[in-house]
């Protein structure tokens, strides 16, 4: 086990390219298991937690669950979204789609496949309420926070969605993660 200094680049935390900073993602004292991906000539280490986060996604989320998601990129073969829980997911355009999602559109989706490496495929169930906002930075902070909490103690998740109807539980306004300043 290595204890010391090194760096984790944001590209080694999430596959979400829209993340521009690790500000608010980690707190002093967070414990993570990281893989060394580079040792420079001056012995500086670069770390990655991408595999660990992906494994956490694969064990935590399951087909049949619902989530809100915001469109972050699209091409002719797929739409890429960030879920309210911070993980990336994709949907495949269908001729049955009533509306083609536009930039920053939010949806309620049903997970159809969760790969063991954390890739999540979903189907669009319905458009999200117009006031639904997903902040990628906060969502990713919650995802990483859950992973950090997994490292510290058993953590249980409440409020899983069972449908996309108005009867479903409201999104939690607070982050599942709390940090304490010293």
Cα separation, 51 vs 54, in Å, equals: 5
CA angle 24, 30, 33 (to 5 degrees): 115
CA-nearest of 139, 79, 67, 132 to 103 is 79
Q: What tokens does 181 get? A: 């300043």
Q: Is the per-residue pLDDT at 57 higher than 90? A: yes
CA-nearest of 154, 136, 127, 114 to 10 is 136
Q: Give the number of other CB atoms < 10 A from CB of residue 73.
A: 15
Give the residue, 166 or 13, on which the prediction is more confident. Answer: 13
Write the pLDDT tens digit of every residue in 7-42.
Answer: 888 889 998 888 888 888 888 878 788 888 988 877
User: What is the dihedral sign for C-alpha 57, 63, 65, 68?
Assistant: positive
**Residues contacting 105, CB < 8 A, separation 6+:** 70, 71, 127
Write the pLDDT tens digit of every residue in 75-89.
Answer: 889 999 999 999 999
Helix (H/G/I), strand (E/B), else coil: 126 = strand
């Amino acid at each position: 086990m290595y204890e010391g200094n090194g760096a984790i680049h944001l590209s080694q935390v999430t596959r979400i390219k829209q993340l521009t900073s690790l500000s608010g993602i980690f707190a002093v004292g967070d414990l993570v298991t990281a893989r060394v991906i580079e040792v420079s000539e001056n012995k500086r280490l670069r770390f990655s937690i991408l595999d660990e986060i992906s494994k956490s996604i694969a064990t935590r989320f399951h087909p049949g669950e619902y989530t809100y998601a915001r469109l972050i990129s699209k091409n002719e073969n797929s739409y890429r979204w960030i879920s309210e829980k911070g993980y990336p997911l994709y949907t495949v355009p269908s001729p049955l789609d009533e509306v083609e999602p536009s930039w920053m559109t939010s949806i309620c989706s049903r997970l159809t496949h969760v790969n063991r490496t954390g890739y999540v495929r979903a189907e669009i169930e319905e458009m999200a309420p117009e006031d639904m906002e997903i902040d990628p930075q906060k969502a990713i902070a919650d995802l990483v926070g859950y992973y950090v909490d997994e490292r510290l103690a058993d953590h249980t998740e409440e409020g899983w969605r069972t449908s996309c109807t108005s009867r479903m539980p409201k999104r939690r306004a607070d982050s599942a993660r709390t940090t304490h300043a010293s």
